[in-house]
């Protein structure tokens, strides 16, 4: 038996220029906006995980 895909709806807001770029790429690849964003996340998540969280101390602050 195959696993069902979780298709919960979520609103995401992008700057207009970025959304237009994503839409153009989705059109170029004949894919959905959702597919493009999901693939982009899979590619970028390791790099994004390197960013400090807002609760981590900032090394640039000198007291």
pTM summary value: 0.70
Note down pLDDT in tens along the chain; length 63 residues. Answer: 556 777 788 899 999 999 999 999 999 999 999 999 999 999 999 999 999 998 877 666 555
Token digits for 24? 């153009």
User: What was the pLDDT predicted at 5?
Assistant: 72
Instruction: Say if 34 falls within a structural domain.
Output: yes
d(CA 18, CA 21): 5
Distance CA 44, CA 50 (A): 10
Task: Give residue 14's pLDDT.
Answer: 96
Helix (H) or strand (E) run with residue 3 in it: none
Domain total in the chain: 1
**How much is the pLDDT for 60?**
60
Tell me the C-alpha distance between 41 and 50, whole Å.
14
Q: Which domain holds residue 42?
A: 16-48
Examine residue 23 and state whether it is found in any structural domain, yes or no: yes
Q: Is 9 a member of any domain?
A: no
């Amino acid at each position: 038996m195959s696993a069902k895909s979780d298709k919960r709806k979520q609103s995401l807001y992008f700057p207009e220029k970025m959304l237009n770029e994503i839409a153009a790429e989705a059109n170029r690849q004949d894919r959905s906006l959702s597919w493009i964003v999901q693939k982009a996340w899979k590619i970028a998540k390791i790099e994004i995980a390197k960013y400090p969280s807002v609760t981590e101390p900032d090394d640039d602050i000198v007291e």
